[in-house]
């Protein structure tokens, strides 16, 4: 195997953690769309994101990774809206070595003076039916994020496996304390479905509008005055 192909294979396997959706905290209107790139610790390679509003209360999202890492689909629906605060539920499926199914309940607060800006928190249940070593993992945790003008988004979260993962009293230890039955890494050092790293989520999303060139402003020729 050539060095570039070997390096690509290593990079892809390093991204063996579970992956998660990139939502639109400010709901998209019917027919409105969002395209962007998401950079995350879960995927070394950026993921292309496309979202589209399907009704006044719901939108659907698609993610495409390279070659399939981070690829997935999700659906969001606004359950309640009280002034500037909305409760949103999201269902998601993601393809990766630790393919996962998520259900997330978000509380989103948009800023009155800048309604396209939003802060949000969420509670997530995450299930890996068959991970990199063939086992399963059920995780719960919280997340928080912000969205700026629908162009820049940042989200951080952690979801813990209380049954088969790192014992919670050792959660901050540098070395993994998993039992031998549920190892944190494979023999090659990649995170398994039981690893703490698999429950970590850090995402930076950028709208493709940021990469569009603004048209140059034409200067009208000034006629000499007599």
Going 159 to 121 to 43 to 68, the CA torsion angle's sign is: positive
Confidence band (pLDDT; 50, 70, 90) for 220?
A: low
Lowest mean per-residue pLDDT among 16-25, 102-111, 122-131: 16-25
Beta bridge partners of 128: 137
* Strands annotated E in 118-209: 118-128, 137-148, 152-160, 200-207
CA distance 51 to 211: 18
pLDDT in tens, 185-213: 988 888 899 999 999 999 999 999 988 87
Burial 6-39 (b: 16+ CB within 10 A, else e): eeeeeebbebbbbbbbbbbbbbbeeeeebebbbe
Beta bridge partners of 142: 123, 158
* Model pLDDT, residue 23: 93
* Model pLDDT, residue 38: 95
In which residue are the tokens 């162009």 written? 151
pLDDT in tens, 149-189: 989 999 999 999 999 999 999 999 989 999 999 999 988 88
In which residue are the tokens 């993610």 written? 63
In which residue are the tokens 């999700």 written? 74
Confidence band (pLDDT; 50, 70, 90) for 11?
A: very low
Query: What 3-state DSSP class applies to 91?
Result: strand
The secondary element (H helix, E strand) that includes residue 191 is none
Structure tokens at 53: 């509003």
> How much is the mean pLDDT over the chain?
87
């Amino acid at each position: 195997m050539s060095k570039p192909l070997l390096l690509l294979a290593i990079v892809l396997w390093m991204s063996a953690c579970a992956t998660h959706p990139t939502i639109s905290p400010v709901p998209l209107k019917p027919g409105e769309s969002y395209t962007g790139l998401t950079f995350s610790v879960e995927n070394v390679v950026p993921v292309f994101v496309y979202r589209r509003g399907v009704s006044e209360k719901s939108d659907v999202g698609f993610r495409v990774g390279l070659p399939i890492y981070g690829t997935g689909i999700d659906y969001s629906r606004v359950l309640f809206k009280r002034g500037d605060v909305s409760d949103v539920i999201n269902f998601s499926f993601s393809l990766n070595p630790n393919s996962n199914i998520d259900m997330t309940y978000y509380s989103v607060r948009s800023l009155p003076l800048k309604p396209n800006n939003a802060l949000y928190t969420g509670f997530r249940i995450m299930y890996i039916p068959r991970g990199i070593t063939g086992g399963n993992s059920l995780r719960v945790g919280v997340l928080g994020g912000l969205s700026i003008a629908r162009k820049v988004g940042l989200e951080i979260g952690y979801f813990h496996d209380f049954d088969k993962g790192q014992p919670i009293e050792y959660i901050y230890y540098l070395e993994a304390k998993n039992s031998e039955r549920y190892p944190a890494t494979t023999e090659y050092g990649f995170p398994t479905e039981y690893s703490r790293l698999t429950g970590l989520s850090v995402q930076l999303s950028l709208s493709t509008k940021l990469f569009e060139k603004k048209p140059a402003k034409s200067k009208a020729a000034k006629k000499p005055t007599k």
